[in-house]
Each structure stands twice: as C-alpha cells, then as structure tokens.
Amino acid sequence: MMRALAVMGGTFDPIHYGHLLAADQVRYNLKCDKVLFVPAFKSLYKIDVEMTSAEHRFEMTRLAVSTNEFFEVCDLEIKRGGISYTVDTLEDMRKLYPHCKLYFIVGVDAALGITGWKNWERILEICSIVAVDRPGYSIEDLWQDYKMIKYKKKIIFMKALHMPISSSYIREKVKKGEPIKYMLPESVEEYIKKHKLYL
C-alpha cells in the first residue's frame, strides 16, 4: 500500500527534463512512493492556445517517465475531457488512494495564484501543495494574501536545481530547426521527429 503520492499536472507539450527533475526531487525529499504525471486534456489557461493532441502529449509523457520506477503517467484528465481542473483530479485521486498522503506539485509562480483556482480551499483539504522554487518568485509573497495564512502548513516550499528550459522554448527551437538534444529524454525527441510535431 502506498503511503505518499505526489501528483504533477500540466499540458506537457512537450514534457522535458525540468519537469522530471523537479518531480524526482519532490519524490526523494518527501519520501513519496510514486509520482503521477497527469497530462491535461485542456488547460483553463490555454483555452485559446493551439495545443498538441492529448494522445501525443500522453505518449510523450509515457515515454519520458518509463525509465523511472517511481514515475507513472495517468490519463484521468484526458479520459474526462473538457477543461481540466485541479480540484476534480485531486478528488478522484482521493477516491483512488483513500489512505495515501497526497501532494500536488506546482511552481512557486503557480502557487502564488492558488486563491484563484476552482474550489481552492477544498484542494488544500485534500492535499498539500509543493511549491517548487522558480527564479524571480518568492513564496513569501503568498502570505501577503490574508486568506492563505491559515493554510500555511499545507504549503511546502522546495528549493530545486534550476533548469532554464520550458516547453514553449523547445517548441520554438523545433520550429526553427534548431537542436533540442539534452533538454528532454531522447525517446521524446525521437517521437517529436517521427510525428513532425511543432513544425
């Protein structure tokens, strides 16, 4: 039986070493039995952005995590369809793993906007938020929001090794015909080439 599970959501378009490194640091430091990567079907923040198909993003994520025994990919949001809301995913996770300590991994930049998330207080009842360090953002800013003070123990700040990589940067490099090697797993790079993604 798992005792602690970390969940990392995102569009993963594409997944890269920054995602994987942050997830592994959280897993190790919080002694999680598993990290579940949950590709979104459609992100609320990218409604007007053209995204790679859910099938491609899921497969790239599956390839990326396949070499780590502590990582798994979950198609829960893709099967649900529609806009992916964190609270809905975590409610499902709570049902699937009722006795498990749940963590939700986000960047500090995302954590700073948590009070704008759908049913954000319910999210903090279900799990603890792991806010991974990002250059230019301070977790201390979160406590300026008086609504967050009583939830301070539910927010875990984690220093991380910074990798100046983003999915948008990789997509732009591919579009320009520039190399993306060493930014993401070789299996994902080959998948992008094979399916002519981001051109």
pLDDT at 145: 87
C-alpha separations of 106 from 9, 23, 130, 178, 193 in Å: 8, 10, 6, 29, 29
Over residues 155-178, the mean pLDDT reads 94
Low-confidence winner among 15-29, 157-171, 172-186 (lowest mean pLDDT): 157-171
Q: What pairing do the DSSP bridges indicate for beta strands 128-132 and 155-158?
A: parallel
Q: Which residue has the higher pLDDT, 50 or 188?
A: 188
97 — pLDDT class (breaks 50, 70, 90): very high
β-sheet with 4-10: strand ranges across:
71-73, 34-39, 4-10, 101-107, 128-132, 155-158
Residue 8: which H helix or E strand, with range? strand 4-10
Query: Domain extents for the chain?
Result: 4-164
The separation between the first and the last C-alpha atoms of the chain, rounded to the nearest angstrom, is 44
- Give the architecture-level CATH label for domain 4-164: 3-Layer(aba) Sandwich (3.40)
| Model confidence pLDDT, tens digit, residues 9-19 | 999 999 999 99
The count of other CB atoms within 10 Å of the CB of residue 44 is 12
Q: Which two tokens stand for residue 40?
A: 């979104």
Q: Which residue has the higher pLDDT, 92 or 162?
A: 92
Peptide bond before 164: cis, by omega within 30 degrees of 0?
A: no
Residues 6+ apart with CB under 8 A from 197: 14, 52, 56, 174, 191
47 — pLDDT class (breaks 50, 70, 90): low
C-alpha separations of 96 from 3, 15, 119, 144 in Å: 13, 25, 20, 35
Over residues 89-99, the mean pLDDT reads 96
Question: In whole angstroms, what is the distance from residue 197 CA to residue 175 CA?
Answer: 9
The count of other CB atoms within 10 Å of the CB of residue 24 is 17
Over residues 98-121, the mean pLDDT reads 95
pLDDT value at 125 more than 80: yes
The pTM is what? 0.95
Question: In whole angstroms, what is the distance from residue 140 CA to residue 104 CA?
Answer: 19
